[in-house]
């Protein structure tokens, strides 16, 4: 496994690093101010302006295939890009992206949904989670039935990222109650103006998910994405598209928090000496550095397997599990190094403290990752000896 970057790859990583430092980090005080006032993240026009600024330097559609105008970067490079973006809590991502399952769209759907989404003219959301069906996606109850030449959708979705701003959603509904997940779930592309509504869910962090309601929402037969009854396969492909990218972003946050703590420890003096000379502080920094390095290799190993076309689900689950646990431990230790100042909202540590807690829950809880990892090992699909 050779992860040496060539000159072009180094240039990409360095450009993103510079962009984050010059364009994104200076926005942090304003984002904190907005969040205290109940306004999440950046105003849409500012986010769009940043994305277009990056596009002028060629950064558009990091994961989008080149035939659709994207960069088409591999998994390892995308993980490195996410790591750099993770060094700031400002909710920024490069433009030109569309959900992977939208590429299954037919020609009409590509023109209506896929291409406008890549261009940034439309906003989507992925809607499968329900009040009684989170980790157990097979338990979804939202239903759809044929009524003449239209499907009628009824049900509720919850904790939907982007659900308050999306103008269309990819919603999963049971179309055959006998088969359910085994050929009885279908994915529909549904515009907001076709009748579904959303409401904000208040959370301890700034995630801002939505609850979606479908009350006899009628859509034409052409709204089916893929094939009737094959929605669950699409859902699993969406969920498994890049779990390694979540801990990759947390990795960047951890790097910056440790750097902040080291700067603070060098200048904060107690009893006549910098706290950097205190063994308790040194050990927190040392342990965090080791955990960061371990996480880095778990993430890059999973990404490398994706690039090789291997089945990387086991590696991704390990990176997701370890990343969520260690990111939460590291932010706690780095806040402790800062003492009372770390607990204030003057520094971004308390903000990260709340945000990183989500990593252990969404897109597969710690418990689900442990279940996946242990099942793979016990059933012989993976080995504790690794893949080398």
- Among all residues, which ones are annotated catalytic? 363
Of 102, 93, 26, 87, whose CA–CA distance to 59 is shortest? Answer: 93
Element (H, E) at 146: strand 143-147
273-274 and 269-270 beta bridge pairing: antiparallel
**Which residues are CB-neighbours of 267 under 8 A, at least 6 positions away?**
274
Q: Are 117 and 102 in contact (CB under 8 A)?
A: yes
What phi and psi, each to the nearest 5 degrees, are found at residue 179? Answer: -90, -35
Does residue 143 sit in helix, strand or coil? strand
Going 53 to 55 to 58 to 60, the CA torsion angle's sign is positive
Q: Which residue has the tokens 């939460």?
A: 328
What does the DSSP assignment read for 1-67?
------HHHHHHHHHHHHHIIIIIGGGHHHHHHHHHTT--SS-HHHHHHHHHHHHTTT-S-SSS-GG
Instruction: Assign residue 216 a region (left: φ > 0; alpha: ψ between -120 and 50; beta: otherwise).
Output: left
What phi and psi, each to the nearest 5 degrees, are found at residue 230? Answer: -110, 20
Distance CA 357, CA 371 (A): 20
Distance CA 17, CA 238 (A): 28
Direct distance between the N- and C-terminal alpha carbons of the chain, in angstroms, rounded to an integer: 9
What does the DSSP assignment read for 192-225?
GGGT-EEEE---SSS---EEEEEEEEEEEGGGEE
Per DSSP, helices labelled H in the chain are 7-19, 28-36, 44-55, 75-85, 107-109, 115-118, 231-239, 245-267, 279-307, 313-338, 340-343, 349-356, 366-378
């Amino acid at each position: 496994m050779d992860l040496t970057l060539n000159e072009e790859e180094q240039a990409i990583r360095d450009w993103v690093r510079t962009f984050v430092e010059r364009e994104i980090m200076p926005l942090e005080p304003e984002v904190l101010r907005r969040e205290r006032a109940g306004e999440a993240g950046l105003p849409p026009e500012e986010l769009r302006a940043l994305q277009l600024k990056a596009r002028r330097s060629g950064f558009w559609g990091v994961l989008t295939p080149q035939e659709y105008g994207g960069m088409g970067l591999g998994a390892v490079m995308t993980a490195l890009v996410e790591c750099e973006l993770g060094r700031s809590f400002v909710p920024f991502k490069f433009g030109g992206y569309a959900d992977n399952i939208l590429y299954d769209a037919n020609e009409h759907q590509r023109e209506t949904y896929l291409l406008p989404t890549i261009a940034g003219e439309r906003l989507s959301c992925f809607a499968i989670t329900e009040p009684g069906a989170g980790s157990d996606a097979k338990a979804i109850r939202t239903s759809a039935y044929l009524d003449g030449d239209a499907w009628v959708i009824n049900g509720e979705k919850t904790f939907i990222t982007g659900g308050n701003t999306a103008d269309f959603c990819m919603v999963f509904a049971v179309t055959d109650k006998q088969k359910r997940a085994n050929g009885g779930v279908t994915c529909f592309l549904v515009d907001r103006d076709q009748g579904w509504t959303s409401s904000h869910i208040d959370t301890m962090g700034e995630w801002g998910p939505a609850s979606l309601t479908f009350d006899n929402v009628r859509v034409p037969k052409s709204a089916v994405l893929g094939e009737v009854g094959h929605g669950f396969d699409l859902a699993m492909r969406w969920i498994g598209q890049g779990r390694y990218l979540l801990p990759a972003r947390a990795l960047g946050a951890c790097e910056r928090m440790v750097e902040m703590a080291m700067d603070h420890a060098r200048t904060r003096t107690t009893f006549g000496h910098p706290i950097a000379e205190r063994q308790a502080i040194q050990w927190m920094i040392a342990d965090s550095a080791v955990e960061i390095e371990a996480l880095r290799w778990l993430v890059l190993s999973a990404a490398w397997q994706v690039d090789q076309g291997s089945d990387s689900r086991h590696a991704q689950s390990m990176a997701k599990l370890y990343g969520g646990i260690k990111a939460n431990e590291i932010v706690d230790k780095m806040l402790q190094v800062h003492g009372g100042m770390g607990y204030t909202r003057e520094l971004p540590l308390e903000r990260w403290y709340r945000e990183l807690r989500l990593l252990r829950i969404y897109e597969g809880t710690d418990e689900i990752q442990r279940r996946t990892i242990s099942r793979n090992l016990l059933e012989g699909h993976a080995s504790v000896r690794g893949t080398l």
